[in-house]
Amino acid sequence: MQKVLKSACKQVLALAAVAGLVLVLAGCVAGPQQAATGENANANSQYMAQVNQAVEELSTKLGAFDDAVSRNDVVSMRTQADGAFAALDKLDQLQPPEALKEVQEYYSDGCASLKEALSGYVDLYTEIDSATDQQPFDYSTYEQRLASIQSAYDTGLQALRAGDQKVTELRSDQ
């Protein structure tokens, strides 16, 4: 399980780097039919700065979550997961300029899938941690549940990357 989470943290850090690159490109992004005016470029840059900030916050929260996992601290794990949920909510609720509305749809889809994965991981770990001799954890479902969590995580990252790709496409359409 820690392997999946560490992979998740590394990929979120990579996403933060990509978001930084996208921020550089965002100042010139305009819709395919729309000329970039100073106001449009400014709105696009502000939106992408908010995206970058939310992704950086998410990366920090997932790092703290990873630390809680490494210590087998279920209480801290839940607290740090809640922080990651807040960062995902912040990204999900951003109000994009018109030219970047489709980008935000990808980001929102990615946030939903990442929240599903994180919740699934915390639930699975909590069940394992709270198992007793009288009510043991059913390890026969472990692999399938872990695969489901990984799938939700992968789907979330794919959606976030698709949003970044859309920004790049909009930039090249100018």
So what's the pLDDT on residue 22?
40
Print the domain residue range for 156.
2-172
Q: Name the phi and psi angles at 32, rounded to 5.
A: -55, -35
So what's the pLDDT on residue 32?
40
Distances (CA, A) of 144 to 47, 121, 162, 171: 38, 12, 27, 41
Please, are residues 18 and 163 in contact by the beta-carbon 8 Å criterion? no
How many CB atoms lie under 10 A from the CB of residue 45? Answer: 18
So what's the pLDDT on residue 25?
36
pTM above 0.85, yes or no: no
What is the number of domains present in the chain?
1
So what's the pLDDT on residue 174?
63
Query: In the 8-state DSSP scheme, what is residue 133?
Result: S
So what's the pLDDT on residue 29?
39
Q: Which parts of the chain register pLDDT below 50?
A: 5-6, 8-35
* 3-class DSSP assignment, residue 79: helix
Query: In the 8-state DSSP scheme, what is residue 141?
Result: G
So what's the pLDDT on residue 159?
96
So what's the pLDDT on residue 15?
44
Please, are residues 7 and 152 in contact by the beta-carbon 8 Å criterion? no
Q: Give residue for tokens 């009288």.
A: 134
So what's the pLDDT on residue 166?
93
